[in-house]
A and B are shown apart, each in its own frame.
Chain A
Amino acid sequence: MKFTLSWLKDHLETEADLPTILTALTRIGLEVEGVDDPAERLAGFRVARVLTAERHPQADKLQVLSVDTGDGVALQVVCGAPNARAGLVGVLGTPGAVVPANGMQLRVSAIRGVESNGMMCSSRELELGDDHDGIIELAADAPVGTPFADYAGLGDPVIEVAVTPNRQDCMGVRGIARDLAAAGLGTLKPLAVEPVAGEGAGPDVRTHDPAGCPAFFAQNVSGVTNGASPDWMQRRLKAIGQKPISALVDITNYVMFDLGRPLHVYDRAKLTGGLVARAAKAGEQVLALNGKTYTLAEGMTVIADDAHVHDIGGIMGGEDSGVIEATTDVLIECAYFTPEAIARTGQALNLTSDARARFERGVDPAFLGDGLAIATRMVLDLCGGRASGVTRAGQPPVERASFVYNPLLALTLGGLDVTEERQRAILEALGFDVTDDWHVTPPTWRRDVDGPADIVEEVIRIEGLDNVPSTPLPRAEGVARPTATPEQRTERRLRRAAAARGLNEAVTWSFVPAAQADIFGGGAWTLANPISEDMKVMRPSLLPGLLAAAQRNLSRGATGVRLFEFGRRYLADAERPTLAVVLAGERTPRGWQGGKAKAFDAFDAKAEALALLEAAGAPVANLQVLGEAGEAWHPGQSGTLRLGPKTVLAAFGIVHPSVAKAFDLGGPVAAVELYPDAIPAKRSSGFMRLAYAPPALQPVRRDFAFVVPAALSAEQLVRAVRGADKAAIVEARLFDVFEGAGVGEGMKSLAIEVVLQPGEKSFTDAELMAIADRVVAAAGKLGAVLRG
C-alpha cells in the first residue's frame, strides 16, 4: 500500500516529521517497505532564468549563459541545448547536485576553456519524461530560486507500507491515518460526507446472490464530461504507481486508495436493462478490463444486465461497459462482496486486482452509503452532470458482535501492565466501543477482531511492544537435561562419522525429475503444481540428487568426489530417514607410491557402509551380505547389508553403468544408501559396562586354505569356519583369494586365518588337531577341500 505524505495529512492533523511517522508506522505493524522522497533526489535543482546567451568562443554548438538563480548573482553556465535562450525559465542543477538519470555529481568545471557553474537540465536528465531535445522550459512567471521539487509539486514523499492480511482498514489512506492518530501522532480529521440527494428514481439494481453480494448500492449520473482528471489527483495516483486514465476511472481509483472503498463505474449507454448481482452460470464468459476473457464457474458472483455479464463482482470490471472519453451517462456501483466468495473466485480465476485485495480482506460494510456519496459528489464536481436518487439493494452485514474483555489480559497475555484508562483510550481512538463493564464492540472496519486476544494486540501494539519487559522462562532445577531422541543421536553420529571419513555433506532438493525417480523405483508422490519438470517428484532415493551433484562437480573440474547427504526418502507409506554416499571420479590420484590414479570400487562403498553402520551403533559383526540391491546397481558388484534375511540396513556397490550414464557420469561410481531407521534400537541399561575380564592366555593363530567352487561366497565359508567350534574360535578372517593355475577350472582358493582363544589352560596338540578337523569338516559341507 502506497501513499504520499501530503495525502496522509489530508486525514491526519499532525506536527510529526517524516522520520517520526515512518518509525511509528513500523512500530504499530504497518511495516515501512520503502520511502521515495523526490525532493531529496532533486536537491540542488532550482528554478532559474537565463539572462543572456552568447556563443561559446571555442564551440559552435555550445552557448555561454548567464543565469539568474534568485540570489542576486548571475552564474555562468555552459549549455549545449538548442532551445537555450535569453528569457527562458528552466531548471538549473547547481554544483553538488546529483543528476537522477545518470548519478553524475555536478561540479564547477571548464568546458572548452569556459567556466561552467552548473547544468541546465532536460526532462530526461531529471527522470521526469523522455524529452531530451532541449532543456526544460517552465512558465515565464515561475519563481526563480525556488527548489524545483517544490515548484513542480514533487516534494511529496511516497511511503510504501506492507499491510498484513488482517488489516482491511489500512487498505486506504484514512485507515492508516486513524492508526497513527491512535498511536499519538496527531488527530484524525473528520471525513466530510455530503450526501447527494439527486433527482428521480435510482438505478435499477438488485442482488439475487445475497451470499456473494449481500448489498448493491448505486447511483446514476447523467450528462457527464469524461476528460482528464485534475492535476492534483493525477499527481497522487502517479506517485503511488497508478496510471491516470480518465476522470471517471481515476475517481474510482482515488476513492479506493483514499478510503479503501472500491467502486465501479458503468457506461449506461452499453447496458441493456438493469444490473443484477447474481451467481454465474457454468461456462459464462466475460471480457475483463485487463483484456483477458475469463470463463466463469457456477456460483461465482457477477454483475450482469439482461444481455450478459459485465463484471466479475468485486474483482474486475468488464471491458464492454467500461467508461470511455465519450461516455456521458454513468452508473456508480458501491457494493459489498463477501470476502470468502471473493477469495474463492480470485483463486480459481488466478486473477488479482486492487479491488480483490480489499474485498478479500473485507471492506467496511457500514460505509456503502457514504462511499457512494463521496464518489458521486466527486463525479459531479469534476465531470458535471446530474445525479439520480440512490438505490440500496440488499443489506450489508453491519452487525458486530460484542464480547467481554478483561483488561488484566494486557498483562497476563501481553506481558505489559497498561492502566484501564489507557486501554480504553487506545480502543476508542481505534474506533472500538467500550462499555463501562468492558463489553467491547469492534468497529465495522475491523472484522479481524473477534476476541480478547485481538484486543490485547491492539493495546500492546499501540502502547509499544518495546515496552513489554523481557521475562525469563522458568528454568528447571539443575543442569539442563539432554533432549535429543535416539533417532536424533543416530543422525548426529552418522553425519559426523561421515564427515570424519572425508565425505562432504550436501543438501539436495527433495524433488527430482520423474525420469530420475523412475530409475530408483519410481516416486510415490508427484506434485500437482511443480515449479518445473526438474522438481516434480518427491525423491524415492537420495542417490539421484547426489549423482547429479557429483556430475556437476566433475564437470567443474573436481577429480574425486565423496559426497553424502542425510535426508528423507518419500515413500508411499512414510518419509524415511536415509543417508546416502556417492563416490565418483578418482579414489586416489596418481602418486609416486601408488602409481596410476585409482577409481573407486564396490569395496570402497562396502567399507563406508560398514564404518557408518558401526558409528550408528549397528551390530556390524552380525550383518550378512546379500544381493538384491536393486536395478539401479551393477548386478555383479553390489549388495545389501542385512540383519537376518529381511532387515536391510544398507545397500552398497557400483551404480549400474546405464544409470551412471543417465547422469552423464563416466567410469565406475560407487554408492551407499543406508537406512538408519532399520538399525535396532540399543537396549539402554544405564552407563555401567560389563566387568573387564581379559583372557589369561595368548590366542593361537592357524591358517587354512580351501579350494572351493568359484560360486561360493567368501562369507559363507568364513561363517562356516567360525561356527566350527564356537567355544575356541573367536575370529576367522579371510586373507587371500586366488583363482587360476593349480586350483582347477571353476574353483578358487580361499585362505582363512583362525584365531583360537584358550580358556584356563593352553591347548594341547590333540585339542588343536581336533579343532582343525572340525574346521575342515564344517568347510567340507560347503564343498570346500583343504589344500594340500
Chain B
Amino acid sequence: MSELQTLQVDLLARVEGAASIEAVEAIRVEALGKQGRVTALLKSLGGMTPEERLVEGPAIHALREAVTGAIGDRKAALERAALDGKLAAETLDMTLPVDRIAPGSVHPVSQVMDELAEIFADLGFAVASGPEIEDDWHNFSALNIPETHPARAMHDTFYFPEAGEKRMLLRTHTSPVQIRTMLKDKPPIRIIAPGRVYRSDSDATHTPMFHQIEGLVIDRGITLGHLKWTLETFLKAFFERDDIVLRLRSSYFPFTEPSVEVDVGYTMVNGKRVIGGSEGWLEVLGSGMVHRKVIEACGLDPNEWQGFAFGTGVDRLAMLKYGMEDLRAFFDGDLRWLRHYGFAALDVPTLSGGVGVAA
C-alpha cells in the first residue's frame, strides 16, 4: 500500500468514527486546514517535475476529494441525527382535542324564503315587502273585505287602540303588499312578498305569528290557466319532485274571483307524509284571479289589466319539505332545534346547486 493510500484509509476511518460535529471539524482541520496533511501534499505538487506531477497530481486530488466528501457526509449525518433527537423530544399527543366553535345555523323560515326567492326569480318575480303594522284599508277594505263582511270574522285580527282616522292593526295576511305594489308600480307586475303575519289564534297548529308568502301577477291576458301552471311549476321546483299532483278546489276569498284553493297530494312513507303522489291531500295554497274591485281600488283599469294572486304559509312549506312537526318550536329559539333543523351558512339556495338541502 502506498503512503497516500495508507493516509486515505486512516482519515476515512477516523471520519467515519467521529462521534460529533466538533470531532469531524478537528479531522477536517488536521487534513485540509492550512497546515493539514492533505494540504501539505497539495502544496508539494509545486515542487515536482511535470512527469512526477502527472503521476502524483491525480492521486493527491483524489485523496482530497474523498476526504472532503467523507467529512461532508459525516457532518450531514450527525446534523440529521441531532435534529431527529430534538424533534423526538418535541412529540405531542396529536389526539388531544382542539377548540372548535359549534357551527352556526340559518333558521328554516329564512332558508325557505331564500329558496322561494330563487325559484320565483327564475319565473321573473321580484321580492316585495310591506309593513306589518297596517291600516284596515290596506288589510281589508282595498281587498274587497268591507267591515261587515263575514270574512273579517275569519281573520282573528290583532288591533291597536283607535286613534285618528285609520284603524291600525297587525296584518292578517301578506295580501296588503298586493295593494301597495299595485299602487306603487305600473303593470306588468310579478312579485312575491314573504313576511310575518298575525292572527289571534294559538293552539297546537296555530301560532299568533307566522309567515306567509304572497304572489301577484298583473298583466294583460292572464288566466286561471297561468295560475295553475305557476303553482304547479313552483311546487315541483320547491319540492324538487316531478310527481307533484295538485288538486284545485273552488273556494272563496273576497279579493279573488274566481277563487281556488290548492291541495297537494302526499304519500305515506314510514308513517310520514311525503309530498308527491296522491294518497291524501294537504291544503297548501289559497289563490285566484284578482278581483276587479281590488284592481280598481289600486287605480288600475280592470278591463285592461287582470291577473292572479296566491298565498301560502312559509312555515307550513318548511314543515312539509323538511319534516318539522310542531309549529310552535319555530319561535322558541331552542338551540337543539335550531341545530337540528337549521341550515349551514353555505347552504345558499341556487338553481344550479339545487334550492333544497338534502337531509
- Within 541-569 of A, Cβ neighbours of B (below 8 Å) are at 545-546, 548-550, 552-553, 556, 558, 561-564, 566-568
A223: chain B residues at CB < 8 Å are: none
CB-nearest residue of chain A to B190: A473
Decide yes or no whether A738 CB sits under 8 A from chain B.
Answer: no
B248: chain A residues at CB < 8 Å are: 465-466, 468
- Within 465-524 of A, Cβ neighbours of B (below 8 Å) are at 465-466, 468-473, 475-476, 480-485, 488, 492, 495-511
Query: What mask results when residues 407 to 450 of chain A are scored 1 for a CB within 8 Å of chain B, else 0?
Result: 00001111110000000000000000000000000000000000
Taken together as a complex, chains A and B put the C-alpha atoms of A31 and B230 apart, in Å, by 23
Decide yes or no whether B260 CB sits under 8 A from chain A.
Answer: yes
Q: Are B249 and A29 interface neighbours, CB within 8 A? A: yes
Known A-B contacts A496-B345, A501-B104, A568-B132; the reply to A473 vs B223 at CB < 8 A is no
Decide yes or no whether A103 CB sits under 8 A from chain B.
Answer: no
Known A-B contacts A483-B121, A562-B104, A592-B96; the reply to A506 vs B333 at CB < 8 A is yes
Decide yes or no whether B332 CB sits under 8 A from chain A.
Answer: yes
Taken together as a complex, chains A and B put the C-alpha atoms of A741 and B106 apart, in Å, by 49
Q: Are A470 and B339 interface neighbours, CB within 8 A? A: no
Give the interface centre of B224, B230, B247 by most chain A CB atoms within 10 Å.
Answer: B224
Decide yes or no whether B53 CB sits under 8 A from chain A.
Answer: no
Q: How large is the interface on B (under 10, 10 to 19, 20 to 34, 35 or more residues)?
A: 35 or more
A451: chain B residues at CB < 8 Å are: 257, 292
Choose, from A526-534, A697-705, A778-786, the stretch at the interface. A526-534
A553: chain B residues at CB < 8 Å are: 333-335
B101: chain A residues at CB < 8 Å are: 502
Taken together as a complex, chains A and B put the C-alpha atoms of A480 and B352 apart, in Å, by 13
B348: chain A residues at CB < 8 Å are: 496
Q: Are A165 and B99 interface neighbours, CB within 8 A? A: no
Decide yes or no whether B306 CB sits under 8 A from chain A.
Answer: yes
Min CB gap B286→A, angstroms: 11
Taken together as a complex, chains A and B put the C-alpha atoms of A480 and B158 apart, in Å, by 39
Known A-B contacts A500-B104, A505-B104; the reply to A453 vs B291 at CB < 8 A is yes
Decide yes or no whether B198 CB sits under 8 A from chain A.
Answer: yes
Q: Are B208 and A535 interface neighbours, CB within 8 A? A: yes
Decide yes or no whether B280 CB sits under 8 A from chain A.
Answer: no
Decide yes or no whether B49 CB sits under 8 A from chain A.
Answer: no
B202: chain A residues at CB < 8 Å are: 531
Taken together as a complex, chains A and B put the C-alpha atoms of A360 and B148 apart, in Å, by 9
Taken together as a complex, chains A and B put the C-alpha atoms of A166 and B215 apart, in Å, by 23
CB-nearest residue of chain B to A498: B104
Taken together as a complex, chains A and B put the C-alpha atoms of A373 and B318 apart, in Å, by 55
Decide yes or no whether B250 CB sits under 8 A from chain A.
Answer: yes
Taken together as a complex, chains A and B put the C-alpha atoms of A207 and B346 apart, in Å, by 71
Decide yes or no whether B239 CB sits under 8 A from chain A.
Answer: no
CB-nearest residue of chain B to A535: B208
Known A-B contacts A415-B223, A529-B158, A558-B335; the reply to A570 vs B133 at CB < 8 A is yes
Choose, from A211-219, A338-346, A628-636, the stretch at the interface. A338-346
Known A-B contacts A413-B223, A471-B223, A568-B132; the reply to A166 vs B153 at CB < 8 A is no
Decide yes or no whether A174 CB sits under 8 A from chain B.
Answer: no
Min CB gap B74→A, angstroms: 41
**B217 in complex: contacting residue of A413, A453, A473, A535, CB < 8 Å:** A473
**B334 in complex: contacting residue of A475, A538, A552, CB < 8 Å:** A552
B331: chain A residues at CB < 8 Å are: 507-509
Decide yes or no whether B353 CB sits under 8 A from chain A.
Answer: no
Choose, from B8-16, B58-66, B109-117, the stretch at the interface. B109-117
Q: Are A343 and B200 interface neighbours, CB within 8 A? A: no
Decide yes or no whether A593 CB sits under 8 A from chain B.
Answer: yes
Q: Are B122 and A457 interface neighbours, CB within 8 A? A: no
Q: Are B124 and A480 interface neighbours, CB within 8 A? A: yes
**B333 in complex: contacting residue of A457, A531, A552, CB < 8 Å:** A552
Taken together as a complex, chains A and B put the C-alpha atoms of A566 and B104 apart, in Å, by 14
Taken together as a complex, chains A and B put the C-alpha atoms of A559 and B43 apart, in Å, by 81
Min CB gap A453→B, angstroms: 4
CB-nearest residue of chain B to A362: B150
CB-nearest residue of chain B to A459: B258
**B223 in complex: contacting residue of A360, A412, A567, CB < 8 Å:** A412
Q: Are B339 and A504 interface neighbours, CB within 8 A? A: yes
**B160 in complex: contacting residue of A457, A460, A506, A527, CB < 8 Å:** A527
CB-nearest residue of chain A to B228: A470
Mostly helix, strand, loop or mixed at chain A's interface? mixed
Known A-B contacts A465-B250, A500-B346; the reply to A471 vs B148 at CB < 8 A is no
Taken together as a complex, chains A and B put the C-alpha atoms of A531 and B198 apart, in Å, by 11
Q: Are A31 and B249 interface neighbours, CB within 8 A? A: yes
Q: How many residues of A contact B (CB 8 A)?
A: 97
Taken together as a complex, chains A and B put the C-alpha atoms of A473 and B222 apart, in Å, by 8
Known A-B contacts A415-B223, A473-B217, A510-B198; the reply to A502 vs B103 at CB < 8 A is yes
Decide yes or no whether A27 CB sits under 8 A from chain B.
Answer: yes
B124: chain A residues at CB < 8 Å are: 473, 475-476, 480-481, 483
Taken together as a complex, chains A and B put the C-alpha atoms of A761 and B140 apart, in Å, by 73
Q: Are B99 and A588 interface neighbours, CB within 8 A? A: yes
Min CB gap B68→A, angstroms: 40
A503: chain B residues at CB < 8 Å are: 104
Q: Are B133 and A538 interface neighbours, CB within 8 A? A: yes
Query: What mask results when residues 329 to 357 of chain B are scored 1 for a CB within 8 Å of chain A, else 0?
Result: 01111111011001111101000000000
Decide yes or no whether A733 CB sits under 8 A from chain B.
Answer: no
Taken together as a complex, chains A and B put the C-alpha atoms of A492 and B348 apart, in Å, by 9
Decide yes or no whether A594 CB sits under 8 A from chain B.
Answer: yes
Give the interface centre of B103, B148, B160, B248 by most chain A CB atoms within 10 Å.
Answer: B148
Decide yes or no whether B126 CB sits under 8 A from chain A.
Answer: yes
CB-nearest residue of chain A to B258: A457
A339: chain B residues at CB < 8 Å are: 148
Query: What mask results when residues 329 to 364 of chain A are scored 1 for a CB within 8 Å of chain B, else 0?
Result: 000000000011101100100000000000011000
Q: Are A502 and B104 interface neighbours, CB within 8 A? A: yes
Give the interface centre of A165, A166, A483, A528 by most chain B CB atoms within 10 Å.
Answer: A483
Taken together as a complex, chains A and B put the C-alpha atoms of A26 and B148 apart, in Å, by 27
CB-nearest residue of chain A to B339: A504
Taken together as a complex, chains A and B put the C-alpha atoms of A747 and B339 apart, in Å, by 48
Taken together as a complex, chains A and B put the C-alpha atoms of A500 and B202 apart, in Å, by 34
Taken together as a complex, chains A and B put the C-alpha atoms of A498 and B123 apart, in Å, by 29
Query: What mask results when residues 167 to 204 of chain B are scored 1 for a CB within 8 Å of chain A, else 0?
Result: 01010000000000000000000100000101010100
Q: Are B149 and A343 interface neighbours, CB within 8 A? A: yes
A495: chain B residues at CB < 8 Å are: 106, 110
Decide yes or no whether A461 CB sits under 8 A from chain B.
Answer: yes
Min CB gap B125→A, angstroms: 7
Q: Are A525 and B333 interface neighbours, CB within 8 A? A: no
A461: chain B residues at CB < 8 Å are: 250, 258
Decide yes or no whether A664 CB sits under 8 A from chain B.
Answer: no
A165: chain B residues at CB < 8 Å are: 149-151, 154, 252
Known A-B contacts A165-B154, A510-B196, A535-B208; the reply to A415 vs B226 at CB < 8 A is yes
Min CB gap A164→B, angstroms: 3
Taken together as a complex, chains A and B put the C-alpha atoms of A453 and B290 apart, in Å, by 10
Q: Are A484 and B150 interface neighbours, CB within 8 A? A: no
Q: Are A453 and B258 interface neighbours, CB within 8 A? A: yes
Q: Are B159 and A528 interface neighbours, CB within 8 A? A: yes
Taken together as a complex, chains A and B put the C-alpha atoms of A548 and B333 apart, in Å, by 9
Decide yes or no whether B105 CB sits under 8 A from chain A.
Answer: yes
Decide yes or no whether B56 CB sits under 8 A from chain A.
Answer: no
Q: Are A411 and B109 interface neighbours, CB within 8 A? A: no
Decide yes or no whether B289 CB sits under 8 A from chain A.
Answer: yes
Q: Are A473 and B345 interface neighbours, CB within 8 A? A: no
A454: chain B residues at CB < 8 Å are: 257
**A and B contact pairs by CB, cutoff 8 A, 24 listed:** A164-B252, A340-B146, A343-B148, A343-B150, A413-B306, A414-B258, A414-B289, A416-B225, A451-B292, A453-B291, A465-B224, A470-B232, A483-B125, A485-B127, A496-B106, A496-B348, A499-B106, A502-B101, A527-B158, A530-B158, A531-B158, A531-B200, A553-B334, A593-B99
Q: Give 10 new A-B contacts, CB below 8 A, not counting A164-B252, A468-B225.
A: A29-B249, A415-B223, A451-B292, A465-B260, A507-B330, A527-B159, A531-B200, A548-B333, A552-B332, A563-B335
5 smallest beta-carbon distances between A and B, as pairs = A549-B333, A415-B225, A29-B250, A164-B252, A457-B258
